[in-house]
Structure 1
Amino acid sequence: MTKNNTEFRNDEAILDVQDKPSFQHWLVLSIQHLFTMFGSTVLVPLLIGLNPSIALFSSGCGTLVYILCTKAKIPAYLGSSFAFIATMQLLMKDYGYPAVGQGAIAAGLVYVIVALVISKFGSNWVDKILPPVVVGPIVIVIGLSLATTAANDAMLHNSNYDLKYFAVALFTLAVTIIFNMFLGGFASMIPVLLGIICGYILAVLVGIVDFSSVAQAKWFSLPAFDVLGVNYHFKWYPAAIITMAPIAFVTMTEHMGHVMVLNKLTKRNFFKKPGLHRTLLGDGLSSVLAGFVGGPPTTSYGENIGVLAMTKVHSVWVLGGAALFAIIFSFVGKISALIQSIPTPVIGGISFLLFGMIASNGMRILVDNKVNFELKRNLVITSVILVVGIGGTYLKLGDFQLTSIALSTLFGIILNLVLPQQAVSERKN
């Protein structure tokens, strides 16, 4: 691999997709990604009543499956999906995990079926329905729609404003920015990890870290796998399949949005190589695997994409390393509990920067492609996507819900297809 091979290499990256870091650097860079995704990945099972170690295990295995399916060409991490939470909570209450597991498998199989269809008939339609004027605002929405989550993590304690929490978040943000801007060499690749460590130390000093779970945790703890057909008498749960399978079409739009961001960061077109069918296949098989071992469905994580944007370390080896650590730590109770003890303001402070990085890359797409906002068409498409997505608009029909990101993507695609290139008042006589 040479620097002159611009088709396969992004010279702006410190480590490009196929670049392999030294062993010592690999360890630290991978742990940085592990810390970044850990909070969200274990939060989902906690909200629905599952074992967090199972979610950690399934996310690591799912990420490795994704890397295998995409021929190790796409740097992405797959963690627990938030899109299914409401439905999974209902299924857990009425039927228990067996129903959730079948729903996760059904959702994953929807991905697999769509991937097979795209493999057969191609994905050229992606460029037609997702031009820069649609992609840019969608990427902005992906970043800014998470702003409320970052703010709540940074400021709230038990749903109440807490100045101590906010101070820790601002300190974490400040030191991360300083590390990112003023450090050189290897240290410039790990500003997120350094920021988390410094924020954690301050959180310990001000007394907002709870070590009780660390003290109670065992060094070795086997995750409570709930493999289908082993821990209970198998039976079908049609309600789970019917309610969770359609949500896969919603998460697909978010999946494609994340691939768009990665395209921009790495200066590649992953829709064509290795192909959209491979990215969907990897995502789908990851959820199928999660359903079999007892975890929630998985999806690609914006937090880790934010780390890629900030550090310019795009190596798939680093993401694979994070996946391996997730699997290992799922068996080490003390380490899992220690990472889980990182308080929310530390994660919130980091998120201010990470989610903003994602949104900024959406603006770069518009600028780099010289989208003409003197045309009313472009203004209309961008305006609708931004307000629908950032405003938190959603459509709910029973247990089926279109999130703001999915709904804004749908509106953008429709407007792009139906609006003329020029308004009547802009046409030349």
Structure 2
Amino acid sequence: MDNKEFRNPEAILDVQDKPTFGHWLMLSVQHLFTMFGSTVLVPLLVGLNPSIALFASGVGTLVYILCTKAKIPAYLGSSFAFIATMQALMKHYGYPAVGQGAISAGLVYVLVALLISRFGSKWVDTVLPPVVVGPIIIVIGLSLATTAANDAMLNNGKYDLTYFGVAIFTLLITIIFNMYLKGFPSVIPVLLGIVCGYLLALAVGIVDLSGVASAKWFSLPAFDILGINYKFKWYPAAIITMAPIAFVTMTEHMGHVMVLNKLTKRNFFKDPGLHRTLLGDGLSSIIAGFVGGPPTTSYGENIGVLAMTKVHSVYVLGGAAFFAIVFSFIGKVAAVIQSVPTPVIGGISFLLFGMIAANGLRILVDNKIDFEKKRNLIIASVILVVGIGGTYLQMGSFQLTSIALATLFGILLNLILPEKAMSEIEQENK
């Protein structure tokens, strides 16, 4: 299929459609709110500057859009896969080591992108057929279910009924907006839901506005530019520990591209090509490492917004990136967004993460995967339990996450298992 000439009839705004200025503004801010919490949470957990991470995510997303010829609607934010390793590096060496690790991870992406550009990506259809892709996408959505539930219920690790009430209200009001609003408001249910949830959270007193009061209107992020803000020194331990994790996040990267393929009814592995998506992701992490931010990756939360609203315009994602850069310099605005409490995010996440999983289920249905066949049943079963169960492989400081491990199992089983079990062949011969 030629992605350039194709237009998805199910989309309200397709990939290349341009919204009006007012609509563009609201739709882009909706994506900004969606990704903000996770993007600033990673640097807070590691000990980095959240404003730098916000800036890096915006620049990285624009670079990604440029590398993919503005054909893929995706947002890149701070990656969670590197948190444990970055925390250890910060403890022993400080940020310069984390920066070198982020750059090395990005360079791995760039190297793989060059190899795929040279030798092609036809292997993708062989190793990732629908029976593997569908369950992987389900895992990508449902593996985040615990995060959504914890955000909705827990206040400093303890169950809080007020938190849960705010989360359920946010969820229900977003569903109502999505189902019953007409016209333009019907495509910004997430933004409206977050605003309503935030107002309720204010009313019940669970919003901390101290950061807003102390924040400056204009604040230049304290960039840690490699080799300029500090004397350059090699940190081999950072490179050795962070570079291999790039192979793990690549599986998640491809999983997100699969979801986008399904949503937009395109094949981004062919056009603009997997090498371009990997190149954009890799360059984004390299830029983040140079300015003092964590490695980046495509965000499932924003894919959930695409699924819910059916607004797939790359201009909207580019707008979110633009505002992320602007807001990284405006302390008050960034502080207001950062003050959105976790139950509001949790309530929204119930819907967004579930929609990602539901799209994996649609792939299985649309491709008429026959679960009477033992082969299909085994592949899907292993992927789902390994991925959703949180199973991981730990070897020293290197960790293969549950999504990556489930993907690996799925690929191997698909390549190894015969089309039919012996009992099925025997049954046919009778």
TM-score range, shorter chain: over 0.9
Matches within 5 A, 1:46-85: 46-85=44-83
Measure how far apart 1:6 and its partner are.
9.5
Match of 1:413 among 411, 414, 417: 411
- Which residue of 2 is the match for residue 34 of structure 1? 32
Match of 2:380 among 367, 379, 382: 382
Look up the equivalent residue of 2:187 and give its one-letter code.
M
**Change in 2 beyond 3 A, CA 1:6/1:400:** closer
Measure how far apart 1:76 and its partner are.
0.1
**Other structure's SS at 2:221 match:** coil
Give the root-mean-square deviation of aligned CA atoms. 1.0
Match of 1:326 among 324, 327, 336: 324
Measure how far apart 1:91 and its partner are.
0.2
Match of 2:396 among 398, 401, 409: 398
1:109 maps onto 2:107 in alignment: yes
Look up the equivalent residue of 1:26 and give its one-letter code.
W
The count of residues paired between Structure 1 and Structure 2 equals 426
**Change in 2 beyond 3 A, CA 1:273/1:5:** closer
- Which residue of 1 is the match for residue 239 of structure 2? 241
Look up the equivalent residue of 2:211 and give its one-letter code.
S
* 8 A contact 2:65–2:318 mirrored in 1: yes
Look up the equivalent residue of 1:416 and give its one-letter code.
N
Match of 1:256 among 254, 257, 271: 254
Deviation per residue, 1:50-91 (Å, 9 max, x gap): 110000000000000000000000000000000000000000
**Other structure's SS at 1:75 match:** coil
- Which residue of 2 is the match for residue 341 of structure 1? 339
Measure how far apart 1:306 and its partner are.
0.1
Measure how far apart 1:231 and its partner are.
1.1
Look up the equivalent residue of 1:231 and give its one-letter code.
N
* 8 A contact 2:241–2:397 mirrored in 1: yes
Aligned equivalents of 2:413 and 2:266: distance in 1?
26
Measure how far apart 1:8 and its partner are.
1.6
Deviation per residue, 1:208-263 (Å, 9 max, x gap): 00000000000000000000011111010000000000000000000000000000
Look up the equivalent residue of 2:415 and give its one-letter code.
L
Look up the equivalent residue of 2:147 and give its one-letter code.
T
- Which residue of 1 is the match for residue 209 of structure 2? 211
1:89 maps onto 2:87 in alignment: yes
Look up the equivalent residue of 1:287 and give its one-letter code.
S
**Other structure's SS at 2:394 match:** strand
Match of 1:357 among 347, 352, 355: 355
Aligned equivalents of 1:30 and 1:232: distance in 2?
36
Task: Name which of structure 1's ranges 4-13 and 411-420 shifts more when overlaid on structure 2.
Answer: 4-13
- The ranges of structure 1 where at least 4 consecutive aligned residues each deviate by more than 4 angstroms after the TM superposition are 4-7
Measure how far apart 1:7 and its partner are.
5.2
Aligned equivalents of 1:236 and 1:222: distance in 2?
28
Aligned equivalents of 2:393 and 2:7: distance in 1?
41
**Other structure's SS at 1:416 match:** helix
- Which residue of 1 is the match for residue 197 of structure 2? 199
TM-score by length of 2: 0.98
- Which residue of 2 is the match for residue 151 of structure 1? 149
**Other structure's SS at 1:407 match:** helix
Look up the equivalent residue of 2:281 and give its one-letter code.
D
Aligned equivalents of 2:211 and 2:180: distance in 1?
36
Measure how far apart 1:179 and its partner are.
0.2
Deviation per residue, 1:133-177 (Å, 9 max, x gap): 000000000000000000000000000000000000000000000
Look up the equivalent residue of 2:145 and give its one-letter code.
A
Amino-acid identity (%): 83
Matches within 5 A, 1:268-283: 268-283=266-281
Match of 2:117 among 116, 119, 128: 119
Match of 1:226 among 224, 230, 236: 224
1:168 maps onto 2:182 in alignment: no
Aligned equivalents of 1:5 and 1:114: distance in 2?
23
Unaligned runs of at least 5 residues, structure 1: none
**Other structure's SS at 1:79 match:** strand
Aligned equivalents of 1:320 and 1:93: distance in 2?
35
Aligned equivalents of 2:288 and 2:4: distance in 1?
37
Task: Name which of structure 1's ranges 246-255 and 225-234 shifts more when overlaid on structure 2.
Answer: 225-234
* 8 A contact 2:3–2:267 mirrored in 1: no
Aligned equivalents of 2:256 and 2:91: distance in 1?
32
Measure how far apart 1:195 and its partner are.
0.1
- Which residue of 2 is the match for residue 317 of structure 1? 315
* 8 A contact 2:152–2:346 mirrored in 1: yes
Aligned equivalents of 1:282 and 1:160: distance in 2?
40
**Other structure's SS at 1:352 match:** helix
Aligned equivalents of 2:3 and 2:267: distance in 1?
15
**Other structure's SS at 1:213 match:** helix
- Which residue of 2 is the match for residue 18 of structure 1? 16
- Which residue of 2 is the match for residue 372 of structure 1? 370
Measure how far apart 1:5 and its partner are.
9.3
Look up the equivalent residue of 1:397 and give its one-letter code.
M
Look up the equivalent residue of 2:60 and give its one-letter code.
G
TM-score by length of 1: 0.99
Measure how far apart 1:194 and its partner are.
0.2
Match of 1:141 among 130, 139, 142: 139
Aligned equivalents of 1:119 and 1:51: distance in 2?
35
Aligned equivalents of 2:394 and 2:59: distance in 1?
32
Aligned equivalents of 1:143 and 1:206: distance in 2?
30
**Change in 2 beyond 3 A, CA 1:5/1:260:** closer
- Which residue of 2 is the match for residue 8 of structure 1? 6
